[in-house]
Structure 1
Amino acid sequence: MPSLFAPTALLPEGWARNVRIDIGEDGTILAVTPDAILPLGERVERLAGPAVPGMANLHSHAFQRAMAGLAEKRRDPSDSFWTWREAMYRAAHGVGPDELSDIAGFLFIEMLKAGYTTVGEFHYLHNDAHGAPYADPAEMSARLIHASADIGIGLTVLPVLYMRAGFDNAPLEPAQRRFAADEERLLRILESLRWHGRDQTTLRVGLAPHSLRAVPVEIVRHIASVLPEDTTIHIHVAEQEREVEDCIAATGARPVELLMMEAPVGPSWCLIHATHVEHEELADIAASGAIAGLCPITEANLGDGVFPLGAFLTTGGRFGIGSDSNVALNPWEELRLLEYGQRLVHGRRCLSLPEDADGSVGGAIFRAALSGGAAALGQPVGVIAPGFRADLAVLDRLKLAQPDAEGDDILDSAIFGGSGLPVRDVMVAGIWRVRDGRHPGEEAARGRFVAALRRVAA
């Protein structure tokens, strides 16, 4: 039974010193003892810095890492999400099963090194480049499962239902045929994925209606009704102003408003982006218990807009963070940009706190993202406590802006005062996956990743 000893650690009740963490053979935390005194001669591993829970990355499209940096040229005077989407379709065309395995493998290493220990893969490349199904309907999603097992990151895989091109029920465009899946096919994919992941204890299987423009709301409602109530369900919603306008024109309601009226949205749901929402919609999301899935780096990259975080927190809303298009893998930067976006919009500081709260901004948003991300992925992570998985990150004090910081000053320093990753070591399910900033499979994975990018480009 491995045991760790942290000089300081972030526990559910706050920061504690001299913390002993006992871990079971299954990778679950058995006991946490603050102010521990170690008996002489006992074999306990001393950690090299502050220990924090590993962060959940609640929204990722792994294949899009293949186009990072390649969509930054103006090709249209009205360049926007919609023109970026065409570049994404072109990149997706070149990603086959082997390419996805190699891209995801290195991507998952990058995530681990940043302090993410679990990822939600919102995956919609179901078919081959011509739109034909693979022999195994879950071929592409299964590659993500096997890559996560090889690299050692927790995974919630979310195969996507994608049925139409827009609210007008237009058929899928040729470039979207790789995404095509109806209800029956999605259920076959889910069944296959459970078989592929039968021996993987850090895996969860959920599903993702892509968006209300891609899936009629009555289908969203029906598929949610035929699955267990606690099934993890993610959906893009209200990401773009045009999406909101098209939804109103087609249905008379805004996207979040329509979803809340027609679907059984609850605590197992995650609403990705939800950028363009009104106060009543924010209150409805919070009341449902659903998580807002925020991806500040990608939302900034695409010009989506800024989520009204302050108003959402005032309603009691919960959120987590995701790397989405994977142009950058840095949860600390996601949280920094989340707060800075609020400052730029409102002209004030320290806005990622409820209006009646004082204290550390970094501490508040880090804890909130831990809790919301774990809930959104249906994973027993996000806290260092008995019964939870032993997922944690050890920070490098020499990479903090304030190396002698204590308490929440550690998190403020890591989020707002650094220019690089402050992570030294990363554990997932009781196994060290990153030591001193290195993953043991990193060099080989990098080589496969580069070769895959060249094949995609060709």
Structure 2
Amino acid sequence: MSIIWAEQALTAEGWAKDVRLEIGGDGRITDVQAGHKPEGHTVGALLPAPANSHSHAFQRAMAGLTERRGEHATDSFWTWRQLMFRFLDALTPEQVQAIAALVQMEMLEAGFATNVEFHYLHHQPGGQPYDHLGEMAGRIAAAAEISGIGLTLLPVHYQFGGCDQRPLGPGQIRFGNDTEQFARLVEDARAALTTLPTDATLGVAPHSLRAVSQADLRNAATLLPDGPVHLHLAEQIPEVQEVQANWHARPVEWALENLPLDSRWCLIHLTQMQPHETEALAKTGAVAGLCPLTEASLGDGIFDAVRWMNNGGRISIGSDSNIRISMAEELRQLDTSQRLRDHTRAALATADLSTGHRLFDAICKGGAQAAGRGSGKLEVGAWADLLALDTDHLDLAGVQGDTLLDSFVFTGDNRMITDVWSAGRHMVQHGRHIHRDKITATYRKAVKPLRDGL
């Protein structure tokens, strides 16, 4: 058992002062009470720690390396994608583990308690499976052993190079599995998670409408009947055009008509939706997995958060390409993109909740749903996924309640975060991951030959 005391805390009932929270030996919250004298580990402001709902860990090692224009007069997601394929052709299992551990460490230092890893790098260069089919899935799990983060592992099904079912190209060949082999890969991923604490979760991810057959898309939710199902959807204009040309419907229209969408599903990006699609999809109960920094970096477009949330839609936040891992900056990008598009301010606030509070509540609830994880709030029985903010920080000093969350979202960065717990594991203390030096040293050694080879 461990005890945390906070000057203020965002409990399941709302803001409270002088809060004593107790964590049991199983990593779950066993007691939350306000009005107590300080004891145990004392913090300024205690909040639920959301899940990071979408990550491709290996892309972290590409950060800063893709900002030059290619051979074409204009650059785009599709030219960036070719550079990404070339980069990943050189990755070894040892390098993937080192990169994933760094990503998970940076997620924790950014206030995320869980890494939902959309894991599609499965095979050797050239596409030959490793002797152990789940070698790379095991490396993601091994990274989580080091970092202490909660892990939701999503093996990704990737079959084709496009809606016309053309073969995978050279860059994609490391991703590919047929239906039978993918089922075996999922079982290997399940076995990899047995080395982790009991909060680890397994889900499944058909990559996109372009990369998986219609039959396997329809059956994706049956492979793991109780696990989350994630899918890239409606990210790019050429993607929309390709689906329309081959399947005679826009991606969201096809998904609404053909997939059993419900609260188990997390649909990633959704930056290319029409108003009627946004309204209908929001009402299915599926989560929108948003990655605003990556979506801006790749020129994807702007998610219609105002319409989505006003129709009861649920959201989560991920860091996708991991060029910058910051919860505050992701939320700021999400909100300010709405302001720029609509020429307004505070578009995501309500009469009862400030912008920061509404967004933070939404990603705690939606992130837990997307991760298939019993977390996202400070209440008895939930996983003790917690983050603490420094109320002595220049921009937080003397700030209370909703204004504290607004200040974090609109003025803050990772330096405001003092502590993070994942299922009770106290992995960030005084603003630093407890294994930072070891993880960063291993990462430096792993990526040097990658960068030297570019």
TM range (shorter): over 0.9
> What letter matches 2:247 in structure 1?
T
1:224 partnered with 2:221: yes
CA–CA distance in structure 1, aligned partners of residues 349 and 264 of structure 2: 24
1:94 partnered with 2:90: yes
1:376 partnered with 2:373: no
1:183: Cα distance to partner?
A: 1.7
1:169 partnered with 2:157: no
In the other structure, the counterpart of 2:40 is 45
> What letter matches 1:223 in structure 2?
A
Alignment equivalent of 2:447, drawn from 428, 448, 453: 453
CA–CA distance in structure 2, aligned partners of residues 399 and 168 of structure 1: 55
CA–CA distance in structure 2, aligned partners of residues 226 and 305 of structure 1: 32
CA contact (8 A) 1:400 1:422 kept: no
CA contact (8 A) 1:164 1:170 kept: yes
> What letter matches 2:50 in structure 1?
M
> What letter matches 1:18 in structure 2?
D
In the other structure, the counterpart of 2:435 is 441
Cα offsets for 1:143-187 (capped at 9, x unmatched):
111111221000100011001111122111111100101221121
Alignment of 1:101-250 (within 5 A): 101-200=97-196, 201-228=198-225, 230-250=226-246
CA contact (8 A) 2:98 2:442 kept: yes
CA–CA distance in structure 2, aligned partners of residues 226 and 63 of structure 1: 26
In the other structure, the counterpart of 1:36 is 36
RMSD (CA atoms):
1.3
> What letter matches 2:15 in structure 1?
W
CA contact (8 A) 1:313 1:353 kept: no
1:399: Cα distance to partner?
A: 3.0
CA contact (8 A) 1:330 1:421 kept: no
1:390 partnered with 2:387: no
In the other structure, the counterpart of 2:24 is 24
Cα offsets for 1:338-395 (capped at 9, x unmatched):
00000010100011236xx354101110110111011001011111110001111111
Alignment equivalent of 1:55, drawn from 41, 50, 53: 50
> What letter matches 2:20 in structure 1?
R
1:419: Cα distance to partner?
A: 5.1
CA–CA distance in structure 2, aligned partners of residues 420 and 57 of structure 1: 14
In the other structure, the counterpart of 2:325 is 329
SS of residue matched to 1:176: coil
CA–CA distance in structure 1, aligned partners of residues 388 and 92 of structure 2: 36
1:401: Cα distance to partner?
A: 1.6
1:211: Cα distance to partner?
A: 0.3
In the other structure, the counterpart of 1:8 is 8
> What letter matches 1:12 in structure 2?
A
Cα offsets for 1:310-362 (capped at 9, x unmatched):
111121101000000000010110000100000010100011236xx354101
SS of residue matched to 1:401: coil
> What letter matches 2:18 in structure 1?
N
Cα offsets for 1:271-318 (capped at 9, x unmatched):
000111112222222221100000000000000010011111121101
CA–CA distance in structure 2, aligned partners of residues 266 and 405 of structure 1: 39
In the other structure, the counterpart of 2:409 is 415
SS of residue matched to 1:277: coil
- Structure 1: gaps (5+ residues): 39-43
SS of residue matched to 2:165: coil
Alignment of 1:341-356 (within 5 A): 341-353=337-349
Alignment of 1:276-291 (within 5 A): 276-291=272-287
SS of residue matched to 2:21: strand
CA contact (8 A) 2:111 2:414 kept: no
SS of residue matched to 2:171: helix
SS of residue matched to 1:47: strand
> What letter matches 1:112 in structure 2?
L
Structure 2 CA distance for partners of 1:195 and 1:402, relative to 1, 3 Å: closer
CA contact (8 A) 1:113 1:434 kept: yes
Structure 2 CA distance for partners of 1:114 and 1:227, relative to 1, 3 Å: closer
In the other structure, the counterpart of 1:320 is 316
SS of residue matched to 1:49: strand
1:421: Cα distance to partner?
A: 2.9
SS of residue matched to 1:364: helix
In the other structure, the counterpart of 1:41 is none
In the other structure, the counterpart of 2:420 is 426
SS of residue matched to 2:172: helix
1:364 partnered with 2:361: no
Alignment of 1:285-324 (within 5 A): 285-324=281-320
CA contact (8 A) 1:217 1:259 kept: no
Cα offsets for 1:52-106 (capped at 9, x unmatched):
1112100000000010011111112121100000111111111111001111111
CA–CA distance in structure 2, aligned partners of residues 32 and 241 of structure 1: 48
1:129: Cα distance to partner?
A: 1.1
CA–CA distance in structure 2, aligned partners of residues 66 and 132 of structure 1: 23
TM-score when normalising by structure 2: 0.96
CA–CA distance in structure 2, aligned partners of residues 169 and 359 of structure 1: 47
CA–CA distance in structure 2, aligned partners of residues 456 and 362 of structure 1: 39
1:238: Cα distance to partner?
A: 0.4
1:452: Cα distance to partner?
A: 1.3
CA–CA distance in structure 1, aligned partners of residues 352 and 344 of structure 2: 15
CA–CA distance in structure 2, aligned partners of residues 226 and 93 of structure 1: 29
CA–CA distance in structure 1, aligned partners of residues 181 and 349 of structure 2: 43
CA–CA distance in structure 1, aligned partners of residues 205 and 41 of structure 2: 41
- Structure 2: gaps (5+ residues): none
SS of residue matched to 1:168: coil
CA–CA distance in structure 2, aligned partners of residues 94 and 399 of structure 1: 42
1:455: Cα distance to partner?
A: 2.2
CA–CA distance in structure 2, aligned partners of residues 385 and 257 of structure 1: 38
Alignment equivalent of 1:399, drawn from 393, 407, 411: 393
Percent identical pairs in the alignment equals 43
SS of residue matched to 1:157: strand
1:400: Cα distance to partner?
A: 5.1
CA–CA distance in structure 2, aligned partners of residues 298 and 305 of structure 1: 10
> What letter matches 1:15 in structure 2?
W
CA contact (8 A) 1:156 1:377 kept: yes
More displaced, 317-326 or 86-95?
86-95
In the other structure, the counterpart of 2:64 is 69
Structure 2 CA distance for partners of 1:353 and 1:340, relative to 1, 3 Å: same
> What letter matches 1:63 in structure 2?
F
> What letter matches 1:450 in structure 2?
R
TM-score when normalising by structure 1: 0.96
1:218: Cα distance to partner?
A: 2.0
